[in-house]
Amino acid sequence: MTVLDNTEIEEILTKMAEDLRTFLQERNRENIAIVGIHTGGVWIAQRLHQLLGIDEALGELNIAFYRDDFSQIGMHPSVEPSNLPFDVDNRHVVLVDDILYTGRTVRAALNEIFDYGRPASVSLVVLIDRGEQELPFKADVAGTKMSLKAGEHVKLTGPDKLSLVTSIPAK
Partner 1 sequence: MTAQKPGIQLNKKGRLKHFLTTEELSRQILTEILDTAENFAGVGERAVKKVPLLRGKTIANLFFEPSTRTRTTFELAAKRLSADVLNINIEASATKKGESLLDTLQTLESMHCDMFVVRHANSGAAHFIASLVAPGIRVINAGDGRHAHPTQAMLDAFTIRRHKGGFNGLKVAIVGDIMHSRVARSEIHAFNTLGVKEVRVIAPKTLIPAYMRALGVKVFHDLKLGLKGVDAVIMLRLQRERMQGPLLPSADEFFKMYGLTEERLKVASPDVMVLHPGPINRGVEIDSEVADGPRSVILEQVSHGIAIRMAVMSLCMGSVE
Q: Which residues bind partner 1 (CB under 8 A)?
A: 62, 64-66, 70-75, 78, 81-83, 88-89, 111-112, 114-117
Phi first, then psi, for residue 74 (nearest 5°) are 75, -160
Gyration radius of the chain's alpha carbons: 16
Nearer to partner 1, 112 or 129 (CB): 112
Strand order in the sheet with 2-4: 2-4, 163-167, 153-157
Nearer to partner 1, 76 or 161 (CB): 76
CB of 90 to partner 1, least distance (A): 13
d(CA 33, CA 56): 8
CB of 74 to partner 1, least distance (A): 3
Backbone φ/ψ region at 107: left (φ over 0), alpha (ψ -120 to 50), beta = alpha
Nearer to partner 1, 11 or 115 (CB): 115
CB of 57 to partner 1, least distance (A): 15
Which residue type occupies 84? Answer: L
Beta strands 121-129; 141-145: pairing state: parallel
CB of 117 to partner 1, least distance (A): 5
Nearer to partner 1, 117 or 131 (CB): 117
